[in-house]
Amino acid sequence: MSQTVNGSTENGINVTNLVTSPETVVKTGTFKVKAGLAQMAKGGIIMDVTTPEEAVIAEEAGACAVMALERVPADIRRDGGVARMTDPKKIRGIIKAVTIPVMAKSRIGHFAEAQILESLGVDMIDESEVLTPADEVNHIDKHPFKVPFVCGARDLGEALRRIAEGAAMIRTKGEAGTGDVSEAVKHARTINKQIQIAKSLDAIEIYNYAKELRVPVDLLKKTAELGRLPVVNFAAGGLATPADVSLLMQLGVDGVFVGSGIFKSSNPPKRARAMAQAVTHYKEPAILADLSEDLGDAMFGVPVKKQGAVPSGAPDQQKIWNATLGDPSQWVKNNA
Amino acid sequence: MTGTQMINIGVLEVQGAFLEHKISLVRAARELNDVIVNVTEIRNPSHITDDLHGIIIPGGESTAISLFLKRNEMEEPLRSWVKGNGHVTWGTCAGMILLAKETEHQKNGGQVSLMCMDTIVSRNYFGRQINSFEADLTITDSDLISKPGCISDLFHGVFIRAPAILKTTSDDVKVLATLQRGDNSTVIVAAKQGNQLCTSFHPELTEDTRWHRYFIQMVLKSSNSINI
């Protein structure tokens, strides 16, 4: 049973009558295969889960993958401390519980955690800013891994640098664990805008823009030519409702991650199901209205603008009054 | 000589590589050169109409797709469309699973199937993502390799957590491509039964449009395409 192979097309040579052994030559871990998993996730929703039970709820809701975590970002945010890779036992349990792809997070730059996650058989690794970075300067060199990586980005420069390092998928960073979608929107819009700029530049200008963004010029040229990122791009960070999903999908992302938004809400199975459907029905406000009905409380959330501010709301209120009507007490007095 | 023909192809846009399929279809139609292909999206039951001549069920996660079909009451309309006279359907990856009458390794509690092809399919047959691969496949249907511009009787297949056909349960199922395994066994990775086509790999992720041309030609042969 000999057969012919279409040899090394990479070199532009098509050798059509090489005889090989009966076994087909199989190449694993190629970039095509790694990016392919991300392509299969398009139009889908990836949910953060912390137990096998939650993973089953996510699968049953229609998630196209789950992210196995020790704690959801909202809890990481609340607890503080150093956030690390999830306990392998927990990841194994989640892998066992569901048939959909299972992803897990490693710290930025922590290639040893990534190696461990790869050995566990996770389907994708998220080199994530949600965990405490392990390397202030370098990200993981993602090329040698057989498992694909997804990385966060706030702008086109970050996105293309991560792709140059071997990321097979990009997601907006957003502001995980807040329930506030504004940062994810900002990042998605920034990337869109910068791609529009790149598209409008001539051959010389694009060299300068690549320098400004600190990215390889070839990758920037490819992006301008495609009019989009050269890998799958998801939204993440702060999505909590079907409407949030629709908003980001209409801004042009390929799919969404939902972290704390589901399991920090009052009715996770129902919300998970509604948000999963919203990814496909994102263009249909009437269907989204039905999906958004009676979901219970969304996660409480912390508006990004309020973070780090004085706990009391007073100073902020003061600012708003000053900007519009002057000092509120003054205003009250004058009308008395 | 029939002149230029026009066909309507619906792509199930629930989840997965539907955009890639649309691009490949348009390219394939251009190469065939006497056919115009209108590609439309299928996202709710009202999109499944008799105006369609062909439907593609793309890959993605079969669980996510089957749950969506069930919750949007699309399962029955899609099943009866697929079984309808002259209707041509192609399932890639998850689509192969949905078309099969029997599936192994389903999620707990089972999942929706359209119950159309006499095949027994094993989900994630080749393993997890780490085992996803690219390989050159032996194509066993001369229609796929005799086309002009075809330089090889092999097809470069991209397999992502792919299923495979363990067994066919009817002689009507024609094997189109196989993959040889290390233990000298052979598994079926593409098959056809009447107007239904399935591949466990992803031709839409490659530049090679032979499978999309093959599908368009199946549509032209079997349906009442519009002569213009």
Clarify whether A105 is annotated catalytic.
yes
Q: Which of B60, B109, B133 sits opposite A40 (nearest CB)?
A: B60
| Alpha carbon of B227: minimum distance to chain A alpha carbons (Å) | 33
Question: What pLDDT score does B14 carry?
Answer: 95
| Alpha carbon of A143: minimum distance to chain B alpha carbons (Å) | 14
Question: What pLDDT score does A47 carry?
Answer: 97
pLDDT digits (tens, 9 = 90+) for B35-67: 999 999 999 999 999 999 999 999 899 999 999
Q: Using the beta-carbon criterion (under 8 Å), do B184 and A98 form an inter-chain contact? A: no
| Residue ranges of domains in chain B, CATH in brackets | 5-227 (3.40.50.880)
pLDDT digits (tens, 9 = 90+) for A152-165: 999 999 999 999 99
Are A304 and A183 in contact, with CB atoms under 8 Å apart?
yes
Q: Using the beta-carbon criterion (under 8 Å), do A124 and B129 form an inter-chain contact? A: yes
Q: Which two tokens stand for residue B169?
A: 């349960």
Minimal Cα distance from B153: which residue of A? A4
pLDDT digits (tens, 9 = 90+) for B140-163: 777 776 565 566 778 899 999 999
Looking at per-residue confidence, does B214 or B145 come out higher? B214
What percentage of residues in chain B have a pLDDT greater than 70?
93
Q: Using the beta-carbon criterion (under 8 Å), do A281 and B43 form an inter-chain contact? A: yes
- CA gap A83, A75 in Å, rounded: 10
Q: Which of A27, A39, A116, A246 to mutate to test the interface with B (most CBs of B within 10 A)?
A: A39
Q: Which of A1, A2, A33, A233 to mutate to test the interface with B (most CBs of B within 10 A)?
A: A33
pLDDT digits (tens, 9 = 90+) for B70-89: 999 999 999 999 999 899 99
Are A240 and A48 in contact, with CB atoms under 8 Å apart?
no
Question: What pLDDT score does B108 carry?
Answer: 72
B71 among the known binding-site residues? Answer: no
Arithmetic mean of pLDDT, B117-124 = 94
Q: Using the beta-carbon criterion (under 8 Å), do B161 and A62 form an inter-chain contact? A: no
Is a pLDDT exceeding 60 seen at residue A68?
Answer: yes
- CA gap A207, A213 in Å, rounded: 10
Catalytic position from the list A105, A142, A173, A264: A105
A58 close to B (CB below 8 A): no
Question: What pLDDT score does B150 carry?
Answer: 61
Question: What pLDDT score does A6 carry?
Answer: 38
Work out the mean pLDDT of chain B and round it to a whole number.
90
| Alpha carbon of A287: minimum distance to chain B alpha carbons (Å) | 10
Minimal Cα distance from B185: which residue of A? A23
pLDDT band (50, 70, 90) for residue A78: confident
Q: Using the beta-carbon criterion (under 8 Å), do A24 and B71 form an inter-chain contact? A: no
- CA gap A244, A250 in Å, rounded: 10
Q: Which of B160, B189, B202, B210 to mutate to test the interface with A (most CBs of A within 10 A)?
A: B160
Alpha-carbon distances, residue A97 vs A51, A93, A119, B168 (angstroms): 9, 6, 18, 29
Closest CA relative to residue A147, chosen from A307, A259, A34: A34
Catalytic position from the list B93, B116, B198, B212: B93
Question: What pLDDT score does B151 carry?
Answer: 62
* B164, containing H or E segment: strand B164-168
Residues of chain B positioned with their CB less than 8 A from the CB of A249: none
Mean pLDDT is lowest, of A82-86, A88-92, A324-328, for: A324-328
Q: Which of B14, B130, B151 to mutate to test the interface with A (most CBs of A within 10 A)?
A: B130
| Alpha carbon of B59: minimum distance to chain A alpha carbons (Å) | 6
Q: Using the beta-carbon criterion (under 8 Å), do B68 and A62 form an inter-chain contact? A: yes
Residue type, A173: K
pLDDT band (50, 70, 90) for residue A23: low
pLDDT digits (tens, 9 = 90+) for A180-215: 999 999 999 999 999 999 999 999 999 999 999 999
Q: Using the beta-carbon criterion (under 8 Å), do B43 and A1 form an inter-chain contact? A: no
Question: What pLDDT score does A13 carry?
Answer: 38
Which alpha helices (H) appear in A214-305, and where do they start and end?
217-226, 242-250, 260-263, 268-280, 285-292
Question: What pLDDT score does A17 carry?
Answer: 37
Contacts for A310 with CB less than 8 Å, ≥ 6 apart: none
Q: Which of A3, A59, A101 sits opposite B138 (nearest CB)?
A: A3
Helix (H, G, I), strand (E, B) or coil at A26: strand
Is a pLDDT exceeding 90 seen at residue B184?
Answer: no
Residues of chain A positioned with their CB less than 8 A from the CB of B23: none
| Alpha carbon of B1: minimum distance to chain A alpha carbons (Å) | 35
Arithmetic mean of pLDDT, B89-99 = 96
- CA gap A315, A325 in Å, rounded: 15
Q: Using the beta-carbon criterion (under 8 Å), do B16 and A43 form an inter-chain contact? A: yes
Is a pLDDT exceeding 70 seen at residue A4?
Answer: no
pLDDT digits (tens, 9 = 90+) for A206-260: 999 999 999 999 999 999 999 999 999 999 999 999 999 999 999 999 999 998 8
Question: What pLDDT score does B104 carry?
Answer: 87
Q: Using the beta-carbon criterion (under 8 Å), do A3 and B154 form an inter-chain contact? A: yes
Residues of chain A positioned with their CB less than 8 A from the CB of B158: 32-33, 36
Q: Using the beta-carbon criterion (under 8 Å), do B107 and A98 form an inter-chain contact? A: yes
pTM: 0.88
Arithmetic mean of pLDDT, B102-120 = 85
Closest CA relative to residue B199, chosen from B185, B209, B188, B189: B189
Q: Which of A26, A99, A124 sits opposite B63 (nearest CB)?
A: A99
Looking at per-residue confidence, does A306 or B200 come out higher? B200
Rounded to the nearest 10°, the torsion over CA B65, B8, B159, A24 is 150
Q: Using the beta-carbon criterion (under 8 Å), do A29 and B130 form an inter-chain contact? A: yes
Residues of chain A positioned with their CB less than 8 A from the CB of B137: 24
pLDDT digits (tens, 9 = 90+) for A263-311: 989 999 999 999 999 999 999 999 999 999 999 988 878 888 766 544 4
Contacts for A83 with CB less than 8 Å, ≥ 6 apart: A70, A71, A76, A107, A130, A131, A132
- CA gap B127, B111 in Å, rounded: 19
Residue type, A111: F
Arithmetic mean of pLDDT, A96-109 = 97
Question: What pLDDT score does A7 carry?
Answer: 37
| Alpha carbon of A42: minimum distance to chain B alpha carbons (Å) | 5
If 0-12 CB within 10 Å is exposed, 13-18 middle and 19+ buried, where does residue B185 land? exposed
Question: What pLDDT score does B109 carry?
Answer: 73
Clarify whether B20 is annotated catalytic.
no
Q: Which of A16, A40, A123 sits opposite B16 (nearest CB)?
A: A40
A259 among the known binding-site residues? Answer: yes
pLDDT digits (tens, 9 = 90+) for A112-152: 999 999 999 999 999 999 999 999 999 999 999 999 999 99
Contacts for B110 with CB less than 8 Å, ≥ 6 apart: none
Is a pLDDT exceeding 80 seen at residue B165?
Answer: yes
Residues of chain A positioned with their CB less than 8 A from the CB of B15: 41-44, 64, 279-280
